[in-house]
Structures are given as structure tokens and as C-alpha cells.
Amino acid sequence: MKLKLWQVDAFAERPFAGNPAAVVPLNGWLSDAKMQAIANENNLAETAFFVARGGGSYDLRWFTPETEVPLCGHATLASAWVVLNELSPSLEIVRFQTQSGELTVQREGKSGRLQMSLPAGRVESFAAPAGFAKDLSESLGVSAPEELHLSSAGIGGMPGILGIWPESEVRAMRLSGGLVYVLERAGAAGLIASAKGNGAPFDFVSRFFAPGKGVPEDPVTGSAHATLTPFWARRLGKRVLRAYQASPRGGDLLCTDEGARIVLAGPCALYLKGEIEI
């Protein structure tokens, strides 16, 4: 069986930046095992699969190399780019039916950016295990975090940790093999490291790590920004924020807090399109 595949760099003006996602349109669902095998073979943070419902609506699922996840922002944006530019260019808005409810992506005028609406994430208090902050700092090669919270932006259905550091520390982080064990001890699947921006143009910066789920560092994480946007919007007293994910590839996002929903805007760049044989 041959399937079409696109690889799209989300939140990027050009290839080799932003966050790459593989997008595989289907006429009907493959087995979970087959989709997982394709995602593992692609070896990207996420591979998205969707099936058309008609009328600009699609069922959408996402897989890391290790597991299916309930929400992925950048692969949703990449999927919408494929629909709006390759499959149904007459559409202005795409509606995806997912485990996280309906997600919409629409064109943003003539800017070339796409606007994606996601459910707002939650941040809760976190009772850290003894020595957790010290172990976390050592696994990243930086000082201990100023704050620790529990975040709904985990991966694979598990919660994540949100840690707050100075911006210089977030940018200086270097992942070591110990992080996976530190997170496992806290029952968390991922870490969002974030900081208030030191000045224009960015209101806040972040990085995202989920080494136990096949994503050592995610280049640009839409679901994390669905949590970070309301968090920083409350602290900074702003509804519209500009964010930067300070991974080696980097990503620039415009984030709008609309209460129960968060709108993330960014461009996409096509890297490749072809066929896979399964």
C-alpha cells in the first residue's frame, strides 16, 4: 500500500526551522500498531494522521515515535497547512475532531500565517518530591528553578511539570540522560522550562523536554503554549503575547488568550512531499 506523506516545518518561515511534523492523509484508519510503526519510522516528534469527514472537517490523531498523544499543536498546524495548500485550497478554515475536542485552523488574511485555536491548558500547584528541584537542575546543567507547577501540557496522557527560571538559564539548558528519571519520579511525562522575556520583542521564552516519550527536546510546542499563554497573560496583564521557543531550531509564536481557548498564529514551510510504502 502506498500513502502520501508531507513533512512540514510548523511555526517557521523557511525549511530547517520551527518544528517538523509528518502528515499522512488516510481514506480510513489504519491499525494503531501500523500508525505507531509509521511514526517510529519517521522519527519526528509527531506524525499526524487524518481522515476526511467532508465539508472541511477531519478526524485527526497524533503519534510520537513511542506513543499516541491526546493533543499536539504543531502537527495540527502542519496538517491544516497540507489541507489548505495541497488538498483543498478553496477552504478558509479547517475543523479537526480530536481527543481534545474540535480544533480549528484558519488563514490569517494575507500574512501567510495560520491561526490555530486550542483549549487553554491548566497550571496547578505541585508538591515536589524531596530533592526534586536539585535533581532537575543537575539534569539540565542550570540552577534550581524559581518555581515549580504541575501542567496539563504533558504528553501521552500524563501531566507535565512547568518550571520557571531566568531567561538566561532557560537558553543555557543542556539535556542529560538523567532528566527522564527525574520526571518519572514525579509522575510526569514532560517539562516546560519557561521565563519572562528580558525585553522586546518576546514576552516569554520556553523550552520543552519529554525524553521518556521519544521527544528529547521538542523544537516548538503548540500544546505547551496553550498552557503558557494564560499563565503569562495573567502575570503580565496582557491578552496578546509574543513568545519564543528557544530550542536549537527556534520558533516564534503570536499567542492570544481568549479565556477557554488560546489562539496561536504562525507560518509553515514545506520540506518534502512524497509516498511511503507500507
Instruction: Give catalytic residue positions.
Output: 46
Cell numbers given for 35:
500508525
Residue type, 214: G
Facing residues of 266 across strands?
A: 114
Buried b (16+ CB within 10 A) or exposed e, 136-162: bbebbebeebeebbbbbbbbbebbbbb
Which amino acid is it at 3?
L
